[in-house]
Structure 1
Amino acid sequence: MEEMQNSSADEGILFSKIGRARSPSFNAFVALVQNAEISDRCPSPTVHVAYPEGMADGLADSSEEDEIEDDSGEEAEVVPKIQSLKGKRVIPTRVEPINVARVGGSTHDEVLLKFAKLDFNMLQKWYQKEVGSAIKWWEKLEFSKKVPYARERAAELYFWAFAMNSEPKYTTFRAVMAKVLLWITLLDDTYDVYGRIEELELLTQAIQRWDISYIASLPECFKAIFNTTVELVDEIIELSARSGESDLVLQCLKQALCHYVQGYMDEARWCHEGYIPTYDERKVNGAATTPYQAFTIMFIALGEFATKETLHWISNNIPLIVQASSFISRLTNDLASHKFEQQREHGASAVECCMKQYGFSQEEAYEFIKKDINNCWKDMNEEYLKLIEYIPRPVLDCIVNKARVCEFLYANFEDKVTNCAIMKDHIVALFLDPVVV
């Protein structure tokens, strides 16, 4: 590319024919230069072109005199054809072929492929550091001691942060999000299984009012969860300080967290009372317990998109694109996990709610929910196209990716989050095994 940019204006070439140079050791398309005209008024730079096999077939027919065969085992040399024209200056050039190999019916540049593999391996090392940082944080806070039922799944949960945006420049977001996801598993298990309704009421009030005194009499695990909540929010505010909107970020985050824990509290009450909500009630409240609004606020703050306009858009009312992404997450989760969850005391999933409200069989409920998921994708795609004009594309991509990762994690009625054995091969391929160069 430098050679192209540094070429003088007098080195312009017009290519009129494409031919193939063949030798036992090399087979690639090269350009044959013919009748190149240079205009002093309209110069053009030198262009070096190499065509993969098959591209040139429709451009020009090669003749026997265009092909140079060499049986010596050496690479064939291409000699440009030059015809002198009166009053015109003709400059010959040599076009070097690139090493193009054929694999599985397609062509690739071996050098580019090698660089791609090296790039993947370097990024993999970087992702390993991010996972390691989350593990050290987990061990430092001693969750295994303070919260006996804590699940240690740093690598599996990091996959969510990785899937939201894997670009290297968003490393700060992924590092913080990995911690947030570990915290969410503690909160989820506490509300779903281990907390009594009275304890959960107090924990909800403590988080909503940002006051630990509400849980002063509760076991250590509740205090560890609350303190971690405060610590993570403080870290996000500190990291987003240079945006100049840290106060607004704090306000938006607290509002989203209040909405999030209230959704958990409502589910816990329904389970405690044995209440089976309507399908729409379950769908809306289930989306509330999917903290995608909070995740998006974190990405906006840590991805350096924190402006008043963007923060007001995400926090004043939950945007339809975020709602649709949350619905997809909740519904795919319910399809994959409802059988396992009904084996213990657990709130009704979208499947049970749909069966009760509409009188469906389980299979009919599955089909109904799948159609609903498809409609959510339509809403999300439509909103994406509307919002792209004034919301940064990485923010919208992050929202869509949250739905995409759920389609993967809960595909084929398998819960890869709960059953980590299913997830193992994907984790190893992405974060442990380098590509052989």
Structure 2
Amino acid sequence: MSIIGQAGSRITTLVSAVCNVNNNNSHGQNHHHHHPTTYHRNKACRSNIHMEKLIKETKQVLYKMTSEDQRDQSLVMIDALQRLGIDYHFHDEIQSILSNHDAFKEFKNNKDGSFKKELIVDIKGLMGLYEASQLNMGWEDSVLDEAEEFSSRFLKSWMPNLYDHREVRLVENTLKYPYHKSLARFMANDFLKDFNGFKGSWENIVTELARLDSDMIQTLHQKEVVQVSKWWNDKGLARELNFARDQPAKWYLWSMAAITDPKFSEERVELTKAISFIYLIDDIFDVYGSLDQLTLFAKAIERWDFRMVEQLPECMKICFRALDEVTNEFSKKVMNQRGFNPVHIIRKSWSSLCNAFLIESRWFASGNLPNAEDYLKNGIISSGMPLTLLHMFFLLETNINSTMAANDMLNDSPLIFSSISTILRLSDDLGCNKDENQDGEDGSYVDCIMKDQKGCSEEMVRNRVMMMISDEWKRINRECLIYSQHFSPIFMKSCVNFARMIDNYYFLIAENTPYDLIWDKLWYSMFLLKISFFR
């Protein structure tokens, strides 16, 4: 590997580490315990013993690589661990190697600060530089804007001239799914295909560990999605509200993608329950209720008033009663585990969501789109992401009172909530995604801008929206790199994972992937199972 190539691996590793912050401490979480048969229990025990052996061997290899003469090889190894999604086993060892490590300077000339000419013909170096550019925080003098333009331009120019299919796939995946904006497990299988390109003594150990870890995670998530499906079926909401979506496995995928540490099994299941009601209530507003019914429903949620609900159709009564039950159960669990009862904050957040849905219903019923600013302000809330992140906050944070006070969460939504929600709203509007079970009509931010600014072409507006999404990613980077002390590391990492899931999901939409195949691809790429397995 050339010096530039080493710098490429080095900077890619640093990119990987920035927002994959410490999540080793699970803060004394309560977790589900399953009771397998004796055969499966013994098999699992043998696998666990073998995994522990491999983890110990990998730690020993990493420890030996702390010397300066093996620093570059250690970074290649860390990059592999992170891309395979198994770095959570080695947080302390990785931090020890990465501390005080500055590699970006190796891409530039010392004299004039321009990019080294050697980079133009060094594909690994260009890929590393492109990965580094994704950490852009939006400073006016940021060299990372220049780095992204430089590296992407030359990587694209190389594509027609590459004859090695492996290299073509590597460059394509780098441009489509840069590590910082992608879910590690979403890309792990592709990375594993190319893993034979690494010739370290640690290769076999890491490959075997990745296989065992993947088997363990796959088994765990299968149990979780079955648990979610059982909860959903027991609620009977799909039968009673047959106009609404009935997709618990797909809703679970969001929780699974965001909260990746195996320890947080109960938290993934609980978060999925909240997400399911966001979809359910969205369908009530989108395809079922009249404007008068929806107005009364939103008012009943705002007051949390059972008497008001009695005036509504049966399906709305059922939904409200189920929502009340789930909210109370969730709040009781948080109270027992954290000593804080979030019931009033959660109810207020559900009210905000319903009011945002109602505003949209009124806009579309009138046939008049709002201006772009009003649309986006409301659309951030109606995306459901602020409510989702609030639930996740209560599930993952330990010092809830002090953290809420530090972020003024009683009066305002944290910036990272707003950025992720904006990315979701704008990405959804760009994709103009239509779920197969939805018949409601939606406007979009693109439509609103084109109404506000006559003469703008759709292409111009879409490019502008993509730049807005890029700016929100820069804000997320600032929150992670500068203001990360505002929240716990595990919560920050899970927030960024939501943004990554959005990026990966809507990129598949942009490639015109059929709706059902998107979910199968996301699921299969991470766990080698099609989502239809759970239907």
SS of the residue 2:264 aligns to = helix
Offset at residue 377 of structure 1 (A): 1.3
* Shift, 1:144, TM fit: 2.4
The answer to whether residue 227 in structure 2 is matched with residue 142 in structure 1 is no
- The corresponding residue for 1:317 is 412
Secondary structure, aligned partner of 1:106: coil
CA distance in 2, matches of 1:112, 1:388: 30
Hey, what's the Cα distance between the residues in 1 that align with 2:524 and 2:298? 37
Amino acid in structure 2 at the alignment position of 1:154? P
Deviation of 1:184 after TM superposition, in Å, equals 1.6
| Structure 2 partner of 1:352 | 447
Whether 1:121 and 2:215 are equivalent positions in the alignment is yes
Structure 1 residue matching 2:383: 3-state secondary structure = coil
Q: Does the C-alpha gap of structure 1 residues 250 and 416 become closer, same or farther in structure 2, counting only changes over 3 Å?
A: farther
The residue correspondences of 1:209-224 to structure 2 (distance < 5 A) are 209-224=303-318
Residue 168 (structure 1) aligned with residue 259 (structure 2): no
- Tell me the SS of whatever aligns to 2:360: helix
Counterpart code for 1:327:
T
Deviation, 1:292, is 2.6
Shift of 1:233: 1.0
2:284 pairs, out of 168, 184, 190, with: 190
Letter in 2 for 1:144: A
Rounded Cα–Cα distance in structure 2 between residues aligned with 1:180 and 1:144:
15
Identify if the C-alpha distance between structure 1 residues 197 and 417 changes in structure 2 by more than 3 Å, giving closer, same or farther: farther
Q: Which range moved further: 298-307 or 261-270?
A: 298-307
Cα shift at 1:116: 2.1
Which residue of 2 is the match for residue 253 of structure 1? 346
Q: TM-score, normalised by structure 1?
A: 0.71
* 1:1-48 superposed Cα distances (whole Å, 9 cap, x missing partner): 999xxxxxxxxxxx9x99xxxxxxxxxxxxxxxxxxxxxxxxxxxxxx
Normalised by the length of structure 2, the TM-score is 0.58
Contact 2:397 2:488 in 1 (8 A): no
| Contact 1:416–1:423 (8 Å) recurs in 2 | no
What SS does structure 1 have at the residue aligned with 2:321? helix
- Which residue, 361, 372, 375 being the options, matches 2:471? 375
Answer whether contact 2:250 2:519 (CA < 8 A) is retained.
yes
CA distance in 2, matches of 1:243, 1:416: 44
CA contact 1:147–1:220 (8 Å) conserved in 2: no
Which blocks of at least 5 consecutive residues in structure 2 are unaligned? 1-52, 58-66, 71-194, 531-535
Q: What amino acid is aligned across from residue 216 of structure 1 in structure 2?
A: E
More helix by share: 2
Name the % identity: 27
Q: Alpha-carbon deviation of 1:276? A: 0.7
CA distance in 2, matches of 1:377, 1:252: 27
Partner of 1:419: 515
Amino acid at match of 1:301: F
Per-residue deviation, 1:279: 1.1
Query: Is the CA contact (8 Å cut-off) linking 2:423 and 2:502 kept in structure 1?
Result: yes
Post-superposition shift, 1:198?
Answer: 0.9
Please give the alpha-carbon distance, in whole angstroms, between the structure 2 residues aligned to 1:215 and 1:416. Answer: 41
Deviation, structure 1 residue 109: 3.1
Matched to 2:248, the amino acid is A
**In the alignment, what sits opposite 2:501?**
405
- What's the CA shift string for 1:361-413, capped at 9, x where partnerless? 22111111111111111122223333212421222222222222111111154
Evaluate the alpha carbon distance shift between residue 279 and residue 178 of structure 1 in structure 2; reply closer, same or farther with a 3 A threshold: same
Deviates more, 1:300-309 or 1:255-264: 300-309
For this pair of structures, how many residues does the alignment match? 338
Q: Aligned equivalents of 1:339 and 1:118: distance in 2?
A: 38
Asked if the contact 1:204–1:265 (Cα under 8 Å) also holds between the matched residues in 2, the reply is yes
Q: What CA distance in whole angstroms lies between the structure 1 residues aligned with 2:514 and 2:422?
A: 19
Calculate the aligned-residue CA RMSD, in Å.
3.0
> Partner of 1:302 in structure 2?
395
CA deviation string 1:83-127 (max 9, x = no partner): xxxxxxxxxxxxxxxxxxx92353343233212211210111111
CA contact (8 A) 2:228 2:248 kept: yes
Alignment of 1:221-370 (within 5 A): 221-247=315-341, 249-312=342-405, 313=407, 314-337=409-432, 346-359=441-454, 360-370=456-466
Alignment correspondent of 1:56: none
For 2:252 and 2:508, the matched residues in 1 are separated by 22
Matched letter for residue 365 of structure 2: H
Whole-Å separation in 2 of the counterparts to 1:111 and 1:345: 52
* 1:354 to partner: Cα distance: 1.1
* Structure with larger RCO (C-alpha < 8 A, sep 6+): 2
Specify the SS of the correspondent of 1:150. coil
Structure of higher CA gyration radius: 1
CA–CA separation in structure 2 for the residues paired with 1:245 and 1:296: 19
| SS across alignment from 1:234 | helix
Q: State the alpha-carbon separation in 2 of the partners of residues 407 and 421 from structure 1.
A: 16
- DSSP-derived class of the 1:294 partner: helix
Q: Paired residue for 1:203, among 297, 322, 333?
A: 297
Amino acid corresponding to residue 366 of structure 2 in structure 1 = E
Alpha-carbon distance, 1:158 to partner? 1.1
Residue 243 of structure 2: SS of its match in structure 1? coil
